[in-house]
Amino acid sequence: MGKDRRQLILDAASRAFTEFGYKATTMDLVAKMANVGKGTIYTFFKNKEELFDEIFSSLFKEMRIMADEVMETEMPFHEKVHQALFAILEYRKSHLLTIKVFQESAQLGTPEVKEVIDRIESMIILYIKTKIEQAIEDGEIENCHSELLAFTMYKLYIALIFDWEKKHDPLEKETIANLLQLFIEKKLTAK
């Protein structure tokens, strides 16, 4: 029963954060939406921040599973990275809660939201870094500063998928893949 209530609370909190944003969501609201007493929430979560963090940890796990499926294929490294990054960022771009959180961060600058966004970005960069290190070990790319490359690849994707669209028509997936391939082949492809 405890696990059911915990999940009920997580589902209600996710709906509340999606609909109202982090700042406007209260534990009272979550309790009402979950149809549980406020005290029940505190048996599972210390505070709103912990509840928010738990939801985003779950979202990151979902993104990682999607990326892992792509990274296990037999495609060339640059194509695997492109497909994995594209899947992660498209997920982030289409998931209603992440949309709301990124909007709130941009519009209100809520510190707790910015912290979660920073953590998500750090987790994505760390994930890419480990895949780069594996590609170096496997001889797919030359030895390089893996963290710097991971950061650069992530920021390149952000720029191409989100920032470019602010003033231009969205780029086709294939165009983004070609740019990434050019970047990797010119600089890192093992001879």
pLDDT single digits (tens) 174-187: 888 888 778 776 65
The rounded mean pLDDT for the chain is: 86
Fold (CATH) for 48-187: Tetracycline Repressor; domain 2 (1.10.357)
pLDDT at 3: 57
Task: Give me the pLDDT at residue 82, please.
Answer: 81
Angle between helices 48-71 and 77-94 (to 10 degrees): 150
Question: Does pTM top 0.75 for this prediction?
Answer: yes
Name the CATH topology of 1-45: Arc Repressor Mutant, subunit A (1.10.10)
Query: Which residues, listed in sequence order, are joined to residue 189 by a DSSP beta bridge?
Result: 141
Q: 62: how many CB neighbours lie within 10 A of its CB? A: 12
Domain with CATH 1.10.357.10 in the chain: 48-187
Average pLDDT over residues 49-55: 92
Residue 191 pLDDT > 90 = no
In this prediction, residue 140 carries a pLDDT of 85
The predicted pLDDT at position 16 comes to 96
Please check the confidence at residue 105 and state whether its pLDDT lies above 60: yes
- The pLDDT value given to residue 15: 95
CATH 1.10.10.60 domain position(s) in the chain: 1-45
